[in-house]
């Protein structure tokens, strides 16, 4: 019998800095897919890792006085810790600095050279140091006679040097044909149009694949003046991790070609053009699919990225809201092929409505009823009492598998979750419409009561079995409370009424906590949840995009004197301040700083105050403006002045 196999990869990330939720997004999606395939009986190889060579990384390391390897080792440790907090269950973590990878990349380079796909020439072009990519004049953005990177918008440098080229220009027609004959190769469809319109139709140019004068790269095997430039090194990871070209009998034989490479849309040019051409030159099969996912944007429509400085640290979110909440949010909120917005408010809304209300509450309701009417012991269902409602519930549960599977096979994670939540809602409605509290009043409807409760648990069990694809903690909790082993496959959907009657079920703590959104967001400290780390602090200072004086003039920062302060009732974090701002009226500001200051600490003190921030309501109190503090890691400190100034003095 042939074993079903599945090979999935994420991009290998640059360890030039700590990873942010953009990277988590792709890794969580790949992990979700891997879980789905494992639960569907596939032997799954899930590869992720780090792309550690290149000028940008050696420069970053030098900035903090470290050797490149020492620098990347630290970031890789942090990355692995992050994947462990997110419970990313990868099969192998590849580092491009691993000896086996370097050796195999050199062999790949040699193979390409021996087959005459690589030749020596002179490179003249526009180079983006940040993205480590060359661009032609027509690809670059021209503004005020300067060229800028079409991806990261940084200024490009003109470079001229002898280097080795890969003859990709000869493969444009072949690739366009390949796209036509294999419409499933590159998805979603708009990525094909982007590749054809931007790169293939205008004509491919041969690709510079080496560089001189850099240390932190792999040597060209036969010419050590030249280093292998980042993309041959990076893309090859997908096959060197399996042993190619040294050992092609074991993992490579089993798992190549990959079933899917996930990659953000900005690197589809490499995965959708250079990579298939390289593989064609090597005369080995192409991956079955490259899926170019969209970007996580901040509310302002900007891509979350390290160089823009608008990153959100996943560790803080995991600590605050839990790993399943973050995983759920990222998979539910954004359609995988498109861009989507991140905001903490949207995350909190999802937690409250979908997780705490719909799913968590359903558990609470059914376990409470079980406790009350059947002493926490699952009764037997009685099929003879089935009516229209039972038949509907059964149909919804039994169609879940086809719906979830077709969504996930098309990488529509959000849609799969919508299907699962439909069943959660139908079950909630089933309980409500069946009104078990009325059935409990009369002994003659005891069988019906037992059936309503049994079937609600059955639906909850099936839903939770499917949620093993997305969640890493909650299903274990649920199955544990039901005294059942977690199902190791997804057959549960076909097994209606499979729960063993008589099991004890424990209600336990709420599965998901509800958050007070105002209170959570009430912290008026800058939302950059970046780790307390020396290098990072320097980063923060450099991070914000430049503004001009007219932008600054829009901001009204003044001194204010704290007149009164008190904790906001029933909150841990909020303090209500009344402040004097000079000749204007007193103002009320609510600040999320109770972990740092007692209310009385600041009474009588002069503080910096951002006066023209739009007012908003926190716990029903209209908060006007924002008190300002210096943030050092997790500590807040107020500012002190050399001498007293009147309240309302302008800060500029
Ligand atoms: N090292 C290359 C990839 C080589 S793969 C052979 C690289 N690294 S990266 O660190 O910049 O990571 C890029 C990938 O991280 C994106 O393609 C995407 O998968 C993920 N993301 C980084 N920022 C992201 C968002 N803001 N939104 C969504 N995904 C993001 O490019």
Taking only the tens place, the pLDDT of each residue in 483-494 is 999 999 998 878
Domain boundaries, the chain: 343-493, 549-638
Among residues 18, 21, 10, 12, which one has the least CA distance to residue 333? Answer: 21
Q: Is 132 in the pocket of ligand 1 (CB under 6 A)?
A: no
CA angle 377–381–384, rounded 5-degree value: 155
Position 467 pLDDT exceeds 90: yes
- Residue nearest ligand 1's atom 14 by CA: 264
Distances (CA, A) of 508 to 366, 478, 489, 515: 12, 9, 25, 19
Task: Give me the count of residues in the chain.
Answer: 652
Please report the atom of ligand 1 found closest to the CA of residue 296.
27
pLDDT band at 615 (very low <50, low <70, confident <90, very high): confident
Percent of the chain with pLDDT over 70: 93
CATH superfamily of 343-493: Isoleucyl-tRNA Synthetase; Domain 1 (1.10.730.10)
- pLDDT, one tens digit per residue, over 273-314 is 999 999 999 999 999 999 999 999 876 566 666 565 666 789
Confidence of residue 413 (pLDDT cuts 50, 70, 90): very high
Tokens of 251: 């993992």
Nearest residue to 380 (alpha-carbon basis) of 501, 482, 496, 461: 501
Q: What percent of the chain has pLDDT over 90?
A: 71
Residue 571 — φ and ψ, nearest 5°? -130, 155
| Cα angle for residues 412, 82, 13 (degrees, 5° grid) | 70
Question: Alpha helix locations (H) across 399-467?
Answer: 400-409, 413-434, 436-439, 446-467
The CATH topology of domain 549-638 is OB fold (Dihydrolipoamide Acetyltransferase, E2P) (2.40.50)
pLDDT band at 604 (very low <50, low <70, confident <90, very high): confident
Tokens 């900007």 correspond to what residue? 302
The lowest-confidence range among 101-110, 291-300, 326-335, 512-521 is 291-300
Q: Which residue has the higher pLDDT, 620 or 242?
A: 242
Look at residues 44, 47, 6 and name the one whose alpha carbon lies nearest to residue 26: 47
Q: How close is the Cα of 471 to the center of ligand 1, in Å?
A: 23
Mutate to test the pocket of ligand 1, among 26, 278, 340 (most ligand atoms within 8 A of CB): 26
More confident of the two residues 441 and 648: 441
Distance CA 147, CA 138 (A): 10
86 lines ligand 1 (CB under 6 A): no
Ligand 1 pocket test target in 264, 265, 307, 313 with most atoms within 8 Å of CB: 264
Task: For ligand 1, atom 24, name the residue with the nearest CA.
Answer: 22
Ligand 1 centroid to residue 129 C-alpha, Å: 16
pLDDT of residue 614: 83
For β-strands 118-128 and 157-166, DSSP reports them as antiparallel
Between residues 582 and 121, the one the model is more confident about: 121
- By C-alpha distance, which of 470, 471, 185, 188 is closest to 335? 188
The mean pLDDT value of the chain amounts to 91
pTM for the structure as a whole: 0.80
Cβ atoms of 301 and 517 closer than 8 Å: no
5 pLDDT more than 70: yes
pLDDT of 68-79, one tens digit each? Answer: 999 999 999 999
48-52, 163-167, 487-491, 516-520: which range is least confident on average? 516-520
- pLDDT band at 542; cut points 50, 70, 90: very low
**What string of DSSP letters covers 234-294?**
HHTHHHHTTTTTT--SSHHHHHPSPSEEEEEGGGHHIIIIIHHHHHHHHT-PPPS-EEEE-
Spatial distance between the Cα atoms of 93 and 70, rounded to a whole number of angstroms: 18
Please report which confidence band the pLDDT of residue 584 belongs to, taking 50, 70 and 90 as the band edges.
low
Q: Tell me if 267 CB under 6 Å of ligand 1.
A: yes
The residue-averaged pLDDT of 345-355 equals 97
């Amino acid at each position: 019998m042939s074993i079903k196999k599945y090979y999935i990869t994420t991009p290998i990330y640059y360890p030039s800095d700590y990873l942010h939720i953009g990277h988590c997004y792709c890794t969580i999606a790949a992990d979700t897919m891997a879980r789905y395939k494992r639960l569907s009986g596939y032997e799954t190889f899930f590869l992720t890792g780090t792309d550690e060579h290149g000028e940008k990384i050696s420069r970053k390391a030098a900035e903090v006085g470290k050797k490149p390897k020492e620098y990347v080792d630290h970031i890789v440790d942090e990355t692995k810790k992050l994947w462990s907090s997110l419970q990313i269950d990868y099969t192998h973590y590849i580092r491009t600095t691993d000896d086996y990878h370097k050796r195999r990349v050199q062999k790949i380079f040699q193979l390409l050279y021996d087959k005459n796909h690589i030749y020596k020439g002179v490179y003249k072009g526009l180079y983006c140091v940040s993205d480590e990519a060359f661009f032609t004049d027509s690809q670059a953005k021209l503004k005020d006679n300067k060229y800028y990177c079409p991806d990261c918008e940084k200024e490009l440098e003109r470079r001229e040097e002898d280097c080795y080229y890969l003859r990709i220009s000869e493969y444009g027609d072949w690739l366009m044909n390949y796209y036509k004959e294999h419409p499933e190769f590159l998805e979603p469809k708009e990525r094909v149009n982007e590749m054809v319109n931007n790169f293939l139709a205008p004509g491919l140019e041969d690709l510079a694949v080496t560089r001189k004068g850099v240390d932190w790269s792999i040597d060209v095997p036969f010419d050590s003046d030249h280093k292998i430039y980042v993309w041959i090194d990076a893309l090859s990871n997908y096959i060197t991790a399996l042993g190619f070209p040294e050992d092609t009998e074991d993992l490579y034989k089993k798992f190549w070609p990959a079933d899917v490479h996930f990659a953000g849309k900005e690197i589809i040019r490499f995965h959708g053009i250079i990579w298939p051409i390289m593989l064609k030159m090597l005369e080995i099969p192409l991956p079955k699919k490259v899926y170019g996912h969209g970007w996580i944007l901040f509310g302002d429509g900007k891509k979350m990225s390290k160089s823009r400085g608008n990153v959100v640290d996943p560790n803080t979110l995991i600590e605050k809201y839990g790993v399943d909440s973050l995983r759920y949010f990222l998979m539910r909120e954004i359609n995988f092929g498109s861009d989507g917005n991140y905001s903490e408010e949207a995350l909190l809304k999802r937690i409250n409505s979908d997780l705490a209300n719909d799913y968590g509450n359903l558990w609470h309701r059914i376990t409470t009823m079980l406790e009350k009417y059947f002493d926490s012991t699952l009764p037997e269902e009685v099929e003879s009492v089935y009516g229209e409602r039972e038949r509907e519930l059964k149909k919804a549960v039994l169609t879940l598998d086809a719906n979830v599977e077709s969504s996930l096979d098309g990488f529509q994670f959000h849609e799969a979750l919508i299907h699962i939540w439909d069943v959660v809602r139908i079950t909630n409605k089933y309980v409500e419409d069946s009104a078990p509290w009325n059935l409990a009043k009369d002994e003659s409807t005891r069988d019906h009561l037992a059936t309503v409760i049994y079937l609600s648990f059955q639906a909850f069990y099936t839903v939770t079995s499917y949620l093993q694809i997305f969640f890493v903690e909650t299903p274990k909790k649920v199955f544990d409370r039901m005294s059942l082993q977690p199902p190791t496959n997804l057959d549960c959907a076909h097994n209606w009424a499979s729960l063993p009657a008589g099991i004890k079920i424990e209600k336990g703590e709420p599965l998901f906590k509800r958050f007070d959104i105002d209170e959570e967001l009430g912290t008026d400290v800058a939302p950059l949840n970046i780790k307390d780390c020396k290098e990072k602090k320097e980063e923060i200072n450099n991070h914000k995009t430049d503004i001009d004086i007219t932008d600054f003039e829009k901001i009204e920062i003044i001194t204010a004197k704290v007149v009164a302060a008190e904790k906001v009732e029933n909150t841990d974090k909020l303090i209500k301040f009344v402040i004097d701002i000079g000749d204007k009226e007193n103002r009320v500001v609510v600040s999320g700083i109770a972990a740092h200051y007692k209310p009385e600490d600041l009474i009588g003190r002069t503080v910096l105050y951002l006066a023209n921030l739009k007012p908003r309501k926190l716990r029903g109190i209209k908060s006007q403006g924002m008190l300002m503090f210096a943030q050092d890691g997790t500590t807040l400190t107020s500012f002190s002045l050399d001498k007293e100034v009147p309240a309302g003095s302008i800060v500029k």
